[in-house]
Amino acid sequence: MKRLSVVDAERCVGCQCCMFACSRRTNSHGLSESCIGVRSSGGVEHGFTVVTCRVCEDPPCVRACPMDALARTEKRGIHLTEEKCTGCGSCVDACVVGAVFWNSEINKPMICIQCGFCVDFCPHGVLYMKERKAAGHAK
Amino acid sequence: MQSSDPLCNILYVDLTRKRFRVEQRQDLFDRYLGGAGVAAQLLLQSCPEGCDPLGPDNPIVFAVGPLTGLFPLASKTVAMFKSPHTGNLGESHCGGRSAIAIRMAGYGAIVIEGRSEIPVYLAIHGREVHFRDASTLWGMSSSLTAGHIIREREPGSGLRTIMRIGLAGEKMVTYSCVAAETYRHFGRLGLGAVFGSKNLKAIVVSGKRSLPVADNRAYRSVYKGIHQAATSSEVMKKYHDLGTAQNVLPLNKLSGFPTRNLLETKFEAAQEISGEAYAEKYLGRRLACSHCPVACIHIAALREPHEAEPYFYKTSMISYDYEPIYAMGSMLGVGDPEGLLRLLDRAEVLGLDLMTTGPVLSWATEAQEKGLISKKDTGGLSLSWGDWKTYLEATQRIVEQPNDFFAALARGVDHASSIYGGEEFALALGGNEMPGYHTGPAAHVGCLMGARHSHLDNAGYSVDQKVLIKGELSPEALGDALLEEESWRQILSSIVICFFAREIYDVDTVLDCLKAAGFDLDAERLLQIGRDIHREKFRFKMREGFTFEGLRIPERILKTTAPATGLSEEYIRAALDHVRKALI
């Protein structure tokens, strides 16, 4: 599957245009629906950490969901069935890289659907869509 | 504006009573858009006439605009306060993450009032406001350390701003700054001292929310156009490649690069401290403000050996720009690029405005050369051009103020020269130390007439270079040109567009953006709002005792030849008189 990848985080200038692009994709502007995160690596002078979903082979977020609201799909990353989600936040705790974001306006997780919309708005070539094997061990 | 837009929320924080409240003022944003326009109204309302800038009555206003969070480069926060440096309108703009954080926390403006009994820092996370005890952070030698500690204690990584002061603000140096994200500043006019006077060490703001737009399809298409322009234009590429430091060589070539307290206008070591030289030898990282694809912030990596231990190094990351290079470099005759970086670093650590510190030290150097001040005044220091080690120590003493002389320097050149003499070479315009342009009369008229006495108020230096170098302009025509530019810049600073993007955000683009954000305006109305805001600022200035007639013109700027000719007191006064009649 094609998956959003970070080519070189050293090129990241911390503009966060990708985060805003991600929200724009859903027509909910601002940052509440953003599924990508750029934060400094302990102060901007040390550069940036770009957090994206790795679509694990056996995703801990999916396993952690007590309501079966999350599922791994072949083309669109991790899918949330909103009606099933109670907003417990177990998925957020389960992701060690912090790629399960939280929308506190609706109390639901926000996880990348691998659409690649953000890639066009990264001016410094940090992000791209790439055919990759899934992350992590196979079951 | 749209009624569902959280922009209309104004957060009032009372440091004395440790209380806060939110008021909805859609009326203000409908009429004045945001940023400078709204901040001026909030200042007029909250700041009592004639109040002491360092007393509890002086409010601090922060405002962002309707395009913040929606469009690229709407990345500035406007701060307004009564300036302890000039005793009049204080206005300063800062990028970093400040504007996005305030907008995403759900506010259009924040007003801070009163004075805390003990040192505090404010933590504003969305609707929550916490007053945190900052006693332990007070008196710390480095503002960077205070920033590190707050960063580790507070949530919101990646979504927050940390605005803080250094020792200079605590000691109320009238030109101390507030730094955000280490490298961006509310630099000019002494916001740091106002923080210090309130026992306010820092403000953290964070949030993550959604924003409404009026028309999704139109919004996306306007956005795409601006993003494209910002990432492909030549001007923006220059800001990205070399940053503002790109200006060093052209201004030096033009003989408009103030050197050694403006005794000269060409610096023999310009090449060594140019944007090109720093990029080649020291550039360690580029950074961007939130929601700006350009990334103009240039950070040098300075690797220094420890004196006592072999093979032990310290690497400092130090931001540089054109104005700091001018102020602490050419103005002090410092051509050693590493020495200059150390000066910039020291000012950063202490929380001083570099653009003021440079002309203060250059005045002191000339005053000592001329015998107006003695070694007794300087506590044994011999200030001399290029001697950055002595300047490092003098910078520290401006903050520590060990005697009357350094306490005088801590209030700027107007004040220091009123005691020690040397007004003719005390380079302040409207009480604010001069920027790095001696291009001709327009640069100086621009600063004198500007509402905040900043070269960015109306860019007079640009008129010198584009018009006056080639031909003549009557003082009235110059006044009109600068007035027009300044009133347009009120719009840009009210929708908080970075001035670097002013060529992208022309009238039509601004109208399109505002429409997507729910403001239905035409060009005529928009330009009228700009003129109104400009007048409102002058309403505050006049209320606080400003007069055009009282503006001092330092003799030095008239005597040192500039590339654009026509620099005379009569010409400048005639232009100022014309501006006065138009504004008041």
Q: Distance from first CA to last CA of chain B, Å, rounded? A: 30
Written as one string, the DSSP assignment of B404-442 is HHHHHHTT-HHHHHHHH--GGG--EETTEE--S--S-HH
Tokens found for residue A112: 């990348």
The count of other CB atoms within 10 Å of the CB of residue B292 is 29
Whether residues B353 and B479 share a domain: the answer is: no
What span, in angstroms and rounded, lies between the C-alpha atoms of A127 and A118?
8
B chain contacts of residue A9, beta-carbon cutoff 8 Å: none
Nearest CA-CA partner of B583 in B482, B447, B456 = B482
Confirm or reject contact between A105 and chain B (CB < 8 A).
yes
What span, in angstroms and rounded, lies between the C-alpha atoms of B221 and A90?
38
What confidence tier does B565 reach under pLDDT thresholds 50, 70, 90? confident
Residue A139 clears pLDDT 60, i.e. is over it: no
Residue B107 clears pLDDT 90, i.e. is over it: yes
Answer whether B328's CB lies under 8 Å from B343's CB: yes
- CATH label of the domain that carries residue A27: 3.30.70.20
Summarised one tens digit per residue, pLDDT across range B386-438 is 999 999 999 999 999 999 999 999 999 999 999 999 999 999 999 999 999 99
Is A97 within the bounds of a domain? yes
Q: How far is B353 from chain A (nearest CA, A)?
A: 20
Is B512 within the bounds of a domain? yes
Confirm or reject contact between B218 and chain A (CB < 8 A).
no
What is the extent of the structural domain holding A36? 2-131
Residue B188 clears pLDDT 80, i.e. is over it: yes
Report the mean per-residue pLDDT for chain B: 97
What span, in angstroms and rounded, lies between the C-alpha atoms of B287 and B298?
7
Answer whether B79's CB lies under 8 Å from B58's CB: no
Rg (CA), chain B: 22
Q: Please report where in the chains the tokens 């992350």 appear, as a residue.
A: A135
Instruction: Name the helix (H) or strand (E) containing B201.
Output: strand B200-206
What span, in angstroms and rounded, lies between the C-alpha atoms of B122 and B503?
37
The count of other CB atoms within 10 Å of the CB of residue B463 is 25
Summarised one tens digit per residue, pLDDT across range A87-133 is 999 999 999 999 999 999 999 999 999 999 999 999 999 999 988 77
Is B439 within the bounds of a domain? yes
Give how many domains chain B has, as a whole number. 3
Do the chains contact at B290 and A16, CB–CB below 8 Å? yes
The vertex-B457 CA angle with B454 and B461, nearest 5°, equals: 80
User: Can you give the pLDDT at residue A27?
Assistant: 87
Whether residues B398 and B439 share a domain: the answer is: no
Is A112 within the bounds of a domain? yes
Residue A134 clears pLDDT 70, i.e. is over it: no
Is A29 within the bounds of a domain? yes
Whether residues B352 and B445 share a domain: the answer is: no
Written as one string, the DSSP assignment of B45-110 is HHS-TT--TTSTT--EEEE--TTTTTSTT---EEEEEE-TTTSSEEEEEE-TTHHHHHHHTT-SEE
What is the extent of the structural domain holding B406? 233-422
Q: Nearest-CA residue of chain A relative to B218?
A: A27
Q: Nearest-CA residue of chain A relative to B106?
A: A30
Count interface pairs A-B at CB distance under 8 A: 92
- CATH label of the domain that carries residue B564: 1.10.599.10
Answer whether A127's CB lies under 8 Å from A4's CB: yes
Is B216 within the bounds of a domain? no
Confirm or reject contact between A17 and chain B (CB < 8 A).
yes
Give the total residue count for chain B: 584
Residue A135 clears pLDDT 80, i.e. is over it: no
Looking at residue B121, its amino acid is: Y
What span, in angstroms and rounded, lies between the C-alpha atoms of B13 and B21?
7
Whether residues B560 and B444 share a domain: the answer is: yes
Whether residues B155 and B302 share a domain: the answer is: no
Largest Cα span, chain A: 43
What confidence tier does A42 reach under pLDDT thresholds 50, 70, 90? confident
What confidence tier does B77 reach under pLDDT thresholds 50, 70, 90? very high
User: What Cα–Cα distance (Å) separates residue A122 from each residue in A22, A43, B161, B221, B582?
Assistant: 11, 21, 22, 17, 46
Is B221 within the bounds of a domain? no
Summarised one tens digit per residue, pLDDT across range B363-394 is 999 999 999 999 999 999 999 999 999 999 99
Whether residues B406 and B477 share a domain: the answer is: no
Do the chains contact at B289 and A15, CB–CB below 8 Å? yes
Q: Coil, helix or strand for B208?
A: coil
Answer whether A25's CB lies under 8 Å from A115's CB: yes
Mean pLDDT throughout B80-90?
Answer: 98
- Residue percentage of chain B with pLDDT more than 70: 100
Whether residues B153 and B241 share a domain: the answer is: no
- Which of A10, A11, A16, A49 would best serve as a mutation to test chain B binding (most B beta carbons within 10 A)? A16
Confirm or reject contact between A9 and chain B (CB < 8 A).
no
Do the chains contact at B212 and A37, CB–CB below 8 Å? no
Is B91 within the bounds of a domain? yes
Mean pLDDT throughout B33-61?
Answer: 98
Whether residues B350 and B261 share a domain: the answer is: yes
Confirm or reject contact between B231 and chain A (CB < 8 A).
yes
Is A137 within the bounds of a domain? no
Confirm or reject contact between A52 and chain B (CB < 8 A).
no
Q: How far is A138 from chain B (nearest CA, A)?
A: 32
User: Can you give the pLDDT at residue A136?
Assistant: 65
Q: Coil, helix or strand for A89?
A: coil
Do the chains contact at A29 and B210, CB–CB below 8 Å? yes
- Residue percentage of chain A with pLDDT more than 90: 86
Whether residues B497 and B406 share a domain: the answer is: no
What confidence tier does B139 reach under pLDDT thresholds 50, 70, 90? very high
Summarised one tens digit per residue, pLDDT across range B223-252 is 999 999 999 988 888 999 999 999 999 999
What span, in angstroms and rounded, lies between the C-alpha atoms of B584 and B577?
11
Is A138 within the bounds of a domain? no
Tokens found for residue B548: 């055009």
The β-bridge relationship of strands A2-6 and A127-131 is antiparallel
Residue B290 clears pLDDT 90, i.e. is over it: yes
Whether residues B41 and B70 share a domain: the answer is: yes
Do the chains contact at A45 and B317, CB–CB below 8 Å? yes
Which of B206, B221, B249 represents a domain boundary (last residue)?
Answer: B206
Give how many domains chain A has, as a whole number. 1
Is A136 within the bounds of a domain? no
Whether residues B246 and B376 share a domain: the answer is: yes
Is B222 within the bounds of a domain? no
ipTM: 0.95
What span, in angstroms and rounded, lies between the C-alpha atoms of B561 and B441?
10
- CATH label of the domain that carries residue B416: 1.10.569.10
B chain contacts of residue A11, beta-carbon cutoff 8 Å: none
Do the chains contact at B286 and A13, CB–CB below 8 Å? yes
Whether residues B198 and B274 share a domain: the answer is: no
